[in-house]
Each structure stands twice: as structure tokens, then as C-alpha cells.
Chains A and B, each alone.
Chain A
Amino acid sequence: MKSPPFEYARAASIDEACALLAQHGDAAKLLAGGQSLVPMMAMRLLRPAWLVDINEIAALKDIAVDERGARTAACARQVDIERDTALAARVPLLGRALAWVGHVQTRNRGTVGGSLAHADPSAELPLVAQLLGAKMRLRSARGTRSVEADAFFGGPMTTTLAPDECLEVIEWPAWPERRLGCAFVETAARHGDFAMASAAAQIGLDADGRCTRVALGLGGVGMTPLAFPALTARLVGSRPTPADLDDLARDAAAQTEPNDDLHASSEYRRHLARVLAARALRAALEDAEREK
């Protein structure tokens, strides 16, 4: 359980990190919080010749919030997102999700960008990114490009990041609705462990209690985190009943193709997806209705 040998470089700036990636290509990996990468190294699932440590780059820690949403630099720690009250007011779903992410010790070190770039389909932050349509800014020595979450996630532990690219900033859009509700729920063997399935929902209401916007996401039940814009659109303009929410949850779960593994069968995961989706939708609606 010891990491294989590698060469270490502590990048002082994003430019330096990108230059090192350009130089070493596939042989180098970025080291952010290390809460997934280091275990994978210890288990010898990865053997990069170089680790480029981006933990000391001050510009990669920034968190900025305005009415359009939150911009979190990739190396902002999960704990800093959790404690940011301005961010919680604009993008409350992030805080709700983080309550399920790992443990105190891992959130103190784990970063938001690291979780997205790791792209575990059962992880919470990728699900929030998918559900909200977060935008990732990717930077390399060749330039900068922006990618929506949907295009960013390519499969389990797979993203569109090229070997020489660094995830720099994530833009989390805020919804303008004053009556906004959201919820995140999951099932895991121990709180903070990998989710067997997870669900997130966000609902905006007008003054009459009609949905202006609805988003639903499911994690751990597909190759990537899943969002269901075509299904949720049908609730817009209506005052949904509990039965409407259950129907939506059932239809979304029916579209998933979960894997079997040691922890849960495919069938059980799909069952969880339906139950958790219904719970998340109901909790999000109640949350929105509390805002008068």
C-alpha cells in the first residue's frame, strides 16, 4: 500500500502547471487534494512518472459569488465551499451535496475540481455539476476552453480533459427564482462512503406555486451522473401533486442502467434511484414552498 516512485513538482502558478503538463504529457498527473488520487496510487492503479502538485497555487483557491452564480477555482477545498455563506445563498444545492461527501478529514483536503476531474459516477459534486449544467474552464499551454458538464463527463473516471489540460474554474449557475428549493439524498453503507445511489433535485416556483423550473439528477446508476431535462420539463407550469413527483421519479429511474457489483445489484440500485428521486423531489418542493 505504498505509492510507486514518481517525480514531484510543486507548481507555483497555473501557467507553470500547464507548462509541466505540456512537457510530460501522459506521464504526468495533477495532484489536487489527493483524496482519490493517492489511494489509487497506493493501490497501484496508477503509476504516473510525475505528479504536479497544484495545492500551493493561490489563484486556484478563489471562490467568487454574484447573482449569476458561484465561480469556484478548481483547488478550492470542499470545506471552504461548505463554509461559504454567500455561496450557500446562491447555489444551495452545493452545500446540501457536500454534507454527503466523505468525512471531515477528507473534505478539509479534498477539492471541488479534484472531485469533478476524478469523475466517479457515484460522487456528489459531479452530480450537482450535471444537474445545474455547470461550466468548466479548462486551461492548457495551448489556450483556454469552456465545456458544459454534460460534455465534460465522458464515462466512469473519464472526462474530456486532455493530458495537457488543467481544470481551472467551475461556474455553478444560480437560478433567479426567489422561491427556490433543493435537496440531495443518497444511500451508502456508512454516511460519507461511496453512494450506492444518490438523487438531487432543484425546483423553482412562481408566486402561485407553479413550477418555473425543475431539475432532477441521479448518481451511481450510470456511466456518468445523469440529468433528466426532457422528463422534468413536463412539470413546468404546473402545481405538482405527490403523485406527479412519484411518476417523474419512476420514469427517470426506468431510464437508468445501473451496474451490478459487490455492494448492490443493478435491480436494487434502480429501486434506490426511484425511491431517492421521489424523496429528493418532494423535499425540494417543500423547501421551495417554505419561501413565501
Chain B
Amino acid sequence: MSEALYPITVEVNGVQRTAQVPARLSLVDWLRDELRLTGTHVGCEHGVCGACSILLDGEAVRACLMYAVQADAHRVTTVEGLAAPDGGLSVLQDSFCEAHGLQCGYCTSGMLVAAQALLDANPRPSDDEIRAAIGGNLCRCTGYQQIVEAIRLAAERLQEKRA
């Protein structure tokens, strides 16, 4: 039995993408396997680790807990879409390098997306707010402290830029 295919049109990082997808294809598998946007990672595939975080219509969600077919007519931003307009690292991404906010990098795309959603909504987050924002993202390497520092650094740098 071949599975039924459903047509979708999704704005991914500013580009309209169309596809025919089986209903059970997760959004993260579509992004990675079909669109080859492999910056978004897959850890647990059942909503525990946060590695698959993306922005859906500007809000952070877990891409393993959505089917690609559900993203039809919505807007998705992946970690690839966070980069600076010239393709270089964004202030947030550069802050992760600067503050040693990553080691193996597995959790990093999810952390960046969670942090981006936080800074978009709240440019001056407290440390507690930073911790709450990444509370659903597991990191097995850093011990989290440098990730919090990286996000704080990014918030400060973005303040300066705006001033």
C-alpha cells in the first residue's frame, strides 16, 4: 500500500517551498531530509530534548511534535534562517562562540532558536528568564552555565547595537 500524499506550501526561512508529503512525516524530517536543512537536529523524536526547536510563525516549537502537513500555509524559521543577512554569524551565534556556549554542538541549534525567540520577545531578559527559555532544551556537554552567559552576552551586544 502506498501512502497518500498531501500537498503543502510552507515559507521556510523566507522562501516558499512546496512539496507532497505523507501525513506521518514529521516537520523536522521534512526540513532535514527533503529540504536538506540539517542545522536543525533530531535527538529524542518525542518531545523531550528540544534539539529540534524551530520557530513556527515566530514562536519556538518542537519540530518533532508536528507533522510537515500541519505546517502548510505557515512560516518556519530554522537555525539557518537566524544567520546575519550577509550569511555570517548573527550576534547571538557569535556570542555562543565567544562565551563557549557549545562543545559538541548537538543541542546548539535548538538552544539558538530558543534564545532567539526569547530575545525577540524580551530584549533584556533576567538570568531566570534565560534559564526558563532554555528549560526545555537538554545539553549533555556544557553544564548550561556558558549557554546562559552566551545569551546574556548577546542581549547586551544587541542593546549596544540598538543604542
Contacts and interface: CB of A to CB of B under 8 A. Distances in A.
Contacts of A5: 3, 22-24
Name which of A31, A39, A191 has the most chain B CB atoms within 10 A of its CB.
A39
Given A35-B47, A103-B50, A109-B66, A7 B60 contact: no
Contacts of A190: 135
Interface in A110-136: none
A191 B70 CA distance: 29
Contacts, number: 93
Contact of B60 (A34, A39, A104): A104
A79 interface: yes
Name which of B50, B62, B65, B114 has the most chain A CB atoms within 10 A of its CB.
B65
Given A7-B4, A105-B60, A105-B136, A35 B65 contact: yes
A194 B70 CA distance: 26
A192 B61 CA distance: 15
Interface in B10-28: 22-24, 26
A34 B136 CA distance: 16
A6 B23 contact: yes
State the main secondary structure of chain B at its contact with A. Answer: mixed
A105 B61 contact: yes
State the main secondary structure of chain A at its contact with B. Answer: loop
Given A7-B23, A105-B114, A192 B47 contact: no
B118 to A, nearest CB: 8
A4 B22 CA distance: 11
Given A3-B26, A4-B24, A5-B23, A104 B66 contact: no
Contacts of B72: 10
B45 A2 contact: yes
B117 to A, nearest CB: 7
Interface residues of B, number: 34
B77 interface: no
A38 B24 contact: no
Interface string B110-143: 0000100110000000000000110111000000
Given A35-B47, A38-B65, 16 more contacts: A2-B24, A2-B45, A3-B24, A3-B26, A3-B67, A5-B23, A7-B4, A34-B66, A42-B64, A104-B114, A104-B132, A104-B136, A106-B62, A108-B60, A109-B65, A109-B66
26 contacts: A3-B26, A3-B67, A6-B23, A7-B23, A8-B6, A31-B70, A34-B65, A34-B66, A34-B67, A34-B70, A35-B47, A35-B62, A38-B47, A38-B64, A39-B46, A41-B24, A43-B46, A53-B70, A103-B50, A104-B118, A104-B135, A104-B136, A108-B59, A108-B60, A109-B61, A109-B62
Interface of B: 3-4, 6, 22-24, 26, 29, 44-47, 50, 53, 56, 59-62, 64-67, 69-70, 72, 114, 117-118, 132-133, 135-137
Interface of A: 1-8, 10, 31, 34-35, 38-39, 41-43, 51, 53, 55, 79, 102-106, 108-109, 190-192
